[in-house]
Structure 1
Amino acid sequence: MIEVRPFDSLGSANHGWLDAHHHFSFASYHDPARVHWGALRVWNDDTIAAGTGFPTHPHSDMEIITYVRKGAITHRDSMGNEGRTEAGDVQVMSAGSGVQHSEYNLEDEDTKIFQIWIIPDERGGQPTWGAREFPKGDRSGKFVPLAAGGQQAANDDGALPIRTDASVLGASLKAGESVTYRPRDASRHLYLVTATGKVRVEDEEANARDGVAITQRESVTITALEDAELVLVDAA
């Protein structure tokens, strides 16, 4: 099964400082057909205006992965962590039993992020936060794990840890290049979004920021019709 979900079909809310597009039901947007995809619960495509951001607020029992597409995001939390994550890099917060955090765009330009939430395998636990640089050159022509947990962490190659049997992967393809991804079994729930560029997923075409829901496949081949930056979640 391969289902393309065009960007213009997503839920959306423009708050002025935040232009948000929701691949799955979130806040005031609810679509009973798009509540989650396996353990993948949220994929928000957010544009945050310069000098604004999300003030301090709580989370618990969720793995929250932030992939920065443009600009940078500055994180602060109740554990004393503070960090700035730039375009192409990733931060992960395991909310565990509860944490307060803020996310601000302190740059002089818009920041664009994918915010991905995955349901953890177990509730509770000590909250954690971490960030890592992932040079795009290192993922040229191949998928590289950015965050991984459970059985998916067996070959994580330095991915940020998450507390769920899932992986978040990134790849960069030149126009005409292809990459094939093989989940460990066909029951896995794959969700692909192109940060930039147009691709063909088997026989289906997807434009930048479209979502592609994939399951019941032993492999999937993605071909770049334009230079493309890919983000893929593989979840139970």
Structure 2
Amino acid sequence: MIERRSFDGLGGANHGWLNAKHHFSFAEYHDPNRVNWGALRVWNDDTIASQTGFPPHPHANMEIITYVREGAITHQDNLGNKGRTVAGDVQVMSAGTGIRHSEYNLESTATQIFQIWIMPDRQGHQPSWGTKPFPKGDRSGKFMTLASGVEGDTDALPIRANARVLGATVKAGESVEYAFSSPERYGYLVLAKGSATVNGVALSQRDGAAIHGESNIHIAASEDAEIVLVDTAEWN
């Protein structure tokens, strides 16, 4: 089963400094059919105006992955971590027992991010933060694991969940495949750029695809495409 979730049909709110689109229920947007997908709880498509951002605020017991689409985001937290993550790269914050952080766009132009929250499969751990570059050339025509709690994914940023966040770039007229370890896994795929089909289901830029009961997916790009995919277990 693959369900297209069009960008135009997403919930969201425009706060001026922040234009947010929500693939799942978030803040004042609630859809009982879009609360989570497996352990994936949040996928926000955020555009943050220059010299603005999220002031310090707390989180606990959530794995928060930020994929930067355009521009850069600057992080600071009460653990003393501070860093700047640029377009194409990823940061991970494991909120654990509690963390307070801010995320600002200190650039001269708008920043666009995917904010992905995955529910952890264990709690009570110390919070942590990290960022890592993932050159797009290294994932041309193939999926690269960006963040993972799956055993063996040693080159990815660690998360405390039975889940992976992956990225790929595919040139127009070419394709890429991904195999789930079981058709019981939950996949959620968003095109950061371009257009493509996923097992024949057509997606445009910033559309989502909710995937379940599939052993493999075949993504064929009709325009140069940048893909982000979450592969997660069921949430109990």
Partner of 1:202: 199
Aligned ranges 1:112-191 → 2 under 5 Å: 112-149=112-149, 152-154=150-152, 156-191=153-188
Aligned ranges 1:209-224 → 2 under 5 Å: 209-224=206-221
Partner of 2:53: 53
Partner of 1:40: 40
Question: How high is the sequence identity, in percent, across the aligned residues?
Answer: 65
Q: Alignment length, in residue pairs?
A: 233
Task: For 1:25 and 1:84, locate their aligned partners in 2 and report how far apart those are by CA, in whole Å.
Answer: 28
Task: For 1:181 and 1:127, locate their aligned partners in 2 and report how far apart those are by CA, in whole Å.
Answer: 31
Partner of 1:107: 107
Partner of 1:72: 72
Counterpart contact for 1:145–1:157, Cα < 8 Å: no
Cα distance, 1:12 vs. partner?
Answer: 1.0
Task: For 1:81 and 1:140, locate their aligned partners in 2 and report how far apart those are by CA, in whole Å.
Answer: 31
Task: For 2:211 and 2:6, locate their aligned partners in 1 and report how far apart those are by CA, in whole Å.
Answer: 14
Gaps of 5+ in 2: none
Gaps of 5+ in 1: none
Task: For 1:71 and 1:157, locate their aligned partners in 2 and report how far apart those are by CA, in whole Å.
Answer: 27
Paired AA for residue 121 in structure 1: D
Task: Please give the per-residue CA displacement for 1:171-190, whole angstroms capped at 9, x wherever unaligned.
Answer: 00000111110010110000
Task: For 1:39 and 1:99, locate their aligned partners in 2 and report how far apart those are by CA, in whole Å.
Answer: 21
Cα distance, 1:122 vs. partner?
Answer: 1.1
Task: For 1:117 and 1:131, locate their aligned partners in 2 and report how far apart those are by CA, in whole Å.
Answer: 16
Task: For 1:99 and 1:157, locate their aligned partners in 2 and report how far apart those are by CA, in whole Å.
Answer: 25
Task: For 2:124 and 2:154, locate their aligned partners in 1 and report how far apart those are by CA, in whole Å.
Answer: 27
Counterpart contact for 1:96–1:124, Cα < 8 Å: yes
Name segments (4+ residues, structure 1) moved above 4 Å.
none
Task: Please give the per-residue CA displacement for 1:170-214, whole angstroms capped at 9, x wherever unaligned.
Answer: 000000111110010110000000000000011110001001000
Tell me the secondary structure at the aligned position of residue 28 of structure 2: coil
Tell me the secondary structure at the aligned position of residue 115 of structure 2: strand
Cα distance, 1:153 vs. partner?
Answer: 3.5
